[in-house]
Amino acid sequence: MSEDKRCRHCDQLLVKDAIFCQSGGFKGQEWAQSQSEKEDMVQQSSLAGETVKAFMALVRRTPLQVAPSSAVFLARQPRSMLVYAASAVVLLLTGLGVSYGGEWLTYIGFTIAGYAVPLIVLAYIVRSDVYEREPLAIVAYCFGWGAFSGIIAGVLNSLITGPFLGAGGAGFIEEPLKIWGVYQIAKSARMRNEFNDHLDGIIYGAAAGAGFAGLENFWYITDMVLNNAYPALFAIFIRSLTGVMHISWSAIAGRSLGVAKATKGEIKRSDMLPGILVAAFIHFLWNSLPSDISLLIILPFTLGGLRNMIKAAVDDEKRWGFEFFAPDEKE
């Protein structure tokens, strides 16, 4: 192996494509690019450029082009997760109760059906994090936030989307609301070290999308079955597809937050914008185009993009040495 594939400090051979020496840890950092190059790239970034990158992440499996910030290796301090688990339950029940009163209990079968597929897809995405699993309590909190944000979305859609934007504009209301709770986790003093990179952003974003999707699904399923007399299985199937899309849109927005954390070591509110713009645009197309086009083109494109984002993020963590240096955290 060539000399540049050895650790500069301990002279150990590096794992193929690895950035970090498996025996030297942080002292054996082997950056793919110099820090000056990295700083130049970060400074030259723009909203338009980052939005294009966020979209292209759906099209091809591209690794991050800069060496990661040391923030990707930070471990959260041991803290009780109970408050987040309890908050998740409160947020979920508040979202259901305020939105539907007691109907969600009366038609509990429809409630469960509306959440079933989003939860299955979310579980698949959570399990894709092979090197450093996120605490289930925080995933649940983001899920609960997604359901709670449906209350606000319902009000704003009535006041803004319907009169001024049309049905296609709902994404420009819903996507920022869903990802706001993820942003709060990423910035919180208690949990910000848990939010390490773009894979974490995808997972927490997907959780918010799943919570929102299930809440929204209840209304559509009951309306389709009780008022329009569609077969229940048909209604559940159709709404499950939209639920998966909500997960994907929020994952796109969450990824942008994670990219900012991985590259800059910190997150600002403006870092939400690239992912939100891409997610809202795809959401707009999904709502505006004929159903056949949405199902045959937008759906497979978005699901393929979600897979690309997840695979690329996992590959990045492997390149960074997460097999050996993933944050060591115990629930």
Scored b (16 or more CB within 10 A) or e, 87-111 reads bbeebbeebbeebbeebbeebeebb
pLDDT of 12 reads 53
Judge whether 112 and 214 are in contact, CB under 8 Å. Answer: no
pLDDT of 59 reads 95
Residue 268 belongs to domain spanning:
76-312
pLDDT at 33 over 80: no
Identity of the amino acid at 251: A
**Nearest one of 67, 85, 78 to 29, comparing CA atoms:** 67
The answer as to whether 229 is a domain residue is: yes
Q: In a 10 Å sphere around its CB, with 0-12 CB exposed, 13-18 middle and 19+ buried, how is residue 189 labelled?
A: exposed
Q: Where are the alpha helices (DSSP H) in the chain?
A: 35-43, 47-59, 82-100, 103-106, 108-127, 136-156, 171-187, 198-222, 232-264, 273-288, 291-293, 299-319, 322-325
Scored b (16 or more CB within 10 A) or e, 123-142 reads eebbebbebbebbbbbbbbb
The answer as to whether 161 is a domain residue is: yes
The answer as to whether 244 is a domain residue is: yes
For the chain, the average pLDDT equals 87
pLDDT of 325 reads 84
Which range (71-75, 96-100, 170-174) has the least confidence?
A: 71-75
Unique residue bearing structure tokens 């997907």: 206
**Nearest one of 325, 271, 263, 310 to 21, comparing CA atoms:** 325
pLDDT of 330 reads 57
The first and second tokens of residue 72, run together, are: 């990707």
**Nearest one of 292, 124, 113 to 203, comparing CA atoms:** 124
The answer as to whether 119 is a domain residue is: yes
The answer as to whether 46 is a domain residue is: no
pLDDT at 14 over 90: no
- Residue 257, SS3 per DSSP: helix
The answer as to whether 36 is a domain residue is: no
- In Å, how far from its chain's centre is CA 209? 8
pLDDT at 7 over 60: no
pLDDT of 43 reads 52
The answer as to whether 320 is a domain residue is: no
pLDDT of 11 reads 47
- Kindly state the average pLDDT of the residues 126-151: 96
Which range (43-57, 85-99, 279-293, 308-322) has the least confidence?
A: 43-57
- Kindly state the average pLDDT of the residues 271-296: 96
pLDDT of 331 reads 52
Judge whether 1 and 13 are in contact, CB under 8 Å. Answer: yes
Contacts of residue 181, defined as CB under 8 A and 6 or more positions apart, other chains included, come to 141, 142, 145, 146, 148, 149, 208
pLDDT of 18 reads 56
Q: For residue range 284-305, what is the model confidence (pLDDT) as tens digits?
A: 999 999 999 999 999 999 999 9
Q: How confident is the model at residue 23 (pLDDT cuts 50, 70, 90)?
A: very low
The answer as to whether 108 is a domain residue is: yes
| DSSP class of 197 | S
Q: How confident is the model at residue 164 (pLDDT cuts 50, 70, 90)?
A: confident
- Kindly state the average pLDDT of the residues 146-169: 91
Q: What's the number of domains the chain is made of? A: 1
| pTM of the full structure | 0.87
- Kindly state the average pLDDT of the residues 25-29: 41
